[in-house]
Each structure stands twice: as structure tokens, then as C-alpha cells.
Amino acid sequence: MAFTLPDLPYAHDALASLGMSKETLEYHHDLHHKAYVDNGNKLIAGTEWEGKSLDDIVRGTYQAGAVAQNGIFNNASQHWNHNLFWEVMGPGEDKKMPGTLEKALVEAFGSVAKFKEDFAAAGAGQFGSGWAWLVKDKDGSLKVTKTENGVNPLCFGQTALLGCDVWEHSYYIDFRNKRPAYLTNFLEKLVNWEAVAAKL
């Protein structure tokens, strides 16, 4: 199945007042994400992965323990990661967290504030490029994790509920090198908690 670049679920300038500029989304979605799509399509052409689902490609090409992942995995996983990233953000100043999600976070972390603290720490503590995640693990428990480069929860049999891109291209235009400030802003202003709750 050929990869296709999805349209953003909001206008490029819809998040500007919330800390993610039109310029960032033009570069990040229209150029960076598109490059993963285009490169991924070239790499899977004529291989056993052509015609497979994106999830199957990510799971099937991940190499546990490898120092560096292969090109098909890198582009497929980053396509998958960015699809989720755009989905879990949204415009609007007052984003309420649904009660089901709030209850689950309190049960797992003790409080919503502790979850946000752990999530921000995971993202800030990821050395180099990568992602911070809220996942539902195989046993049904909620956990905060971090991964390097394009590795994602699919690789470990987990369900991703929330993911934040901590590659510099995601925040450098708006926050320069202040990754912790970007993560705090992501959690406080950008996350569409309804979309996260729908993945529970």
C-alpha cells in the first residue's frame, strides 16, 4: 500500500496562537513528513513490503537491538508517528480532558499533574532525536515511555495514546533549543485530549 501524506486536520495557522506557528507546520508537515512518505514509497517499491499495511511494515522491519534501523523502517515509522502527532493536537483555547482519560491517568500516575511531569521529563531526557509517548501496555496499564529516532510503541506491542515529536525540527522555529518549554506548551495548550481519550 503506497504511503500518502494526509492533510492536516486543521489549517496551517490554526495552532499559531497556541505556540506552534504556521511556519513550523509548513516545514514539519509539508516538507519533513512528505519526505518520509516519498522516501518510504521509493524504498518499498518492488519489495515484499509493497502492498502491506503501514502497521505491518513498521512491525515487520523493526530490528530489536540494532544500533541503527533500516531505511524502510525509519521512513515508515516516522510516517506512522507523524500521522498520530497531527491527530492528537488541535486548535481551541480550552481543551477539556474527558473524565475517562482523567480517571485512567490518576489510576496510573497518581494525578494528571504527575503524568504531565513524567511525560515532559521523558521528552526532555531523550538524548538526541526521538519521541515521548503515553502508551497502553500489553497488560492494559498506562505508561510513559520514550524512544530514539523513529522507533514507536508498535515495535513493542503497545498502543500509542499520545506522542510528542522531540526532533528539533518540531520546535526550533518556535522555541529554539528550549525543548522543556516546548513540551510544557504541548501538554498545556496543544493536545486534543478528546482524541487521546478516543484511543483508550
Q: Give the model confidence (pLDDT) of 14-24 as tens digits.
A: 999 999 999 99
Query: Between vectors from CA 58 to CA 56 and to CA 59, what angle results, nearest 5°?
Result: 65
> Does the annotation flag 79 for ligand binding?
no
pLDDT exceeds 90 at position 2: yes
Distance CA 101, CA 112 (A): 9
Q: For the whole model, what pTM was predicted?
A: 0.98
Per-residue pLDDT reduced to its tens digit, 22-69: 999 999 999 999 999 999 999 999 999 999 999 999 999 999 999 999
Cβ atoms of residues 90 and 192 within 8 Å: yes
The confidence band for 94, taking pLDDT boundaries of 50, 70 and 90, is confident
Contact partners, residue 103, CB within 8 Å, separation at least 6: none
Residue predicted with more confidence, 106 or 93: 106
Backbone angles phi, psi at 136, to 5 degrees: -100, 120
Q: Compute the distance between CA of residue 35 and CA of residue 82 in angstroms, rounded to an integer.
A: 12
Tell me, what amino acid is at 189?
K
- At residue 53's C-alpha, the angle toward residues 49 and 59, to 5°, is 75
Torsion of CA 66, 70, 73, 74, to 10 degrees: 100
**Predicted local confidence at residue 1, as pLDDT:** 78
**Whether the predicted pLDDT of 144 surpasses 90:** yes
Domains of the chain: 21-88 (1.10.287.990), 99-198 (3.55.40.20)
Cell 496499564 found at: 141
Q: How far apart are CA 52 and CA 44, in angstroms?
A: 9
The response to whether 28 counts as a known ligand-binding position is yes
Residue 198 has pLDDT above 90, yes or no: yes
Which pLDDT does position 155 carry in this prediction?
Answer: 98
According to the model, what pLDDT value does residue 7 have? 98
